[in-house]
Amino acid sequence: MPAMIEFPSWIKPEIIPGLPFRWYGLMYVFAFGTTWLLFRRESKRLDKSWTEDLSANFFLWAIIGILLGGRLAGTLIYEPTDYYWRHPWFILWPFDQTGRFVGFQGMSFHGGFVGLVVTTLAWAKVRRQRWLEWADLIALSVPLGYTFGRLGNFINGELWGKITELPWGIVFPYAERFSAREPWVQEFAAKVGISLSSMNDMVNLPRHPSQLYEALFEGILLWVLLWFVLRKRRRFEGQAVSLYIIGYGTARFFIEYLREPDSGLGYIIKLGNPSAPTYSFTTLLNFSMGQILSFLMVLAGFILLFVFRRRGQRIALESLKTSRKFSSRKLRKRIK
């Protein structure tokens, strides 16, 4: 019995074949909708003073930031041919060179995150709102919505992981194939139950479903921890957003060991085996672009946690001093 799973043939990127509506785009709608509902629910629980119109305006800015940042980073950092550096007018053009509608594929989470921060900071300044107050609620709500984005990647059959002998390894239809002439390919194929009919075959080997790993750990489990464990125990503004940054960055860093680095980029830092293949896990000391950016996220998260905690302590101390002065004045008035 083969120790692998064939990618379901009935899963197609298009919702309706022949029409320019893709599941990936619909997953973004589900992601934003889920985040909005959770955000509104927590706003009502905390009895926040902002109106639904103000919240919707905030979300509009946030969505624009995510899409712009994600697209810019996806095209300018992860695209290996420098095509978009030479043709920047195509960055926001949703058609390929043949005129076929393809949408905005190749979005980057890290770019989207930076875009979200920049646009919402600008919004908070314009609207004279406390950014941390809004950011904490977004951090509590967004992981569950993010899950849908990774499901969209899975439906597209993209961002697959490295080859694996585990029984839940999936044969992705668009993944790189390997020559059956290679001894290691013959050995690997035998282990997972793939029959080789000819040495001229190009073999598609099972991969880690890294999209589903990310949906589970960076999405569902991170949301459970933030929503059910932290949400009612927050002690200072900025705690939730800092822990979200740390949690996401940590999960993504380790999952990247099982995810094949983006084509053309490979490993950015090679402290282990410099010639290690990108399609197989061989060393802990080679790092992808995703790992570098995730490490920086974790580092920034810990710095922000420290800064926001000190800020919260300072505000609490000042509030306590003000309260004591007020009580002292009231007491002196009574004595008089």
Largest separation between any pair of C-alpha atoms in the chain: 103
Range with lowest mean pLDDT among 98-102, 189-193, 296-300:
98-102
pLDDT, residue 256, reads 97
Average pLDDT over every residue of 265-283: 94
Q: Is 58 in contact with 64 (CB distance < 8 Å)?
A: no
Q: Which DSSP symbol is given to 82? A: -
Q: Render 257-314 in DSSP notation, one character per residue.
A: TTBPPPTTT-EEEESS-TT--TTS---SSEEEHHHHHHHHHHHHHHHHHHHHHHHHHH
Does the pTM of the predicted model rise above 0.85?
yes
> What are the boundaries of each domain within the chain?
5-50+129-172+206-335
Question: What are the angstrom distances between the C-alpha of 63 and each of 32, 44, 58?
Answer: 8, 22, 9
Give the confidence band of 25 by pLDDT, cuts at 50, 70, 90.
confident
Cα–Cα distance, 66 to 72 (Å, whole number): 10
pLDDT score, position 104: 58
Provide the pLDDT confidence category of residue 333 given band limits of 50, 70 and 90: low
How high is the pLDDT of residue 136?
97
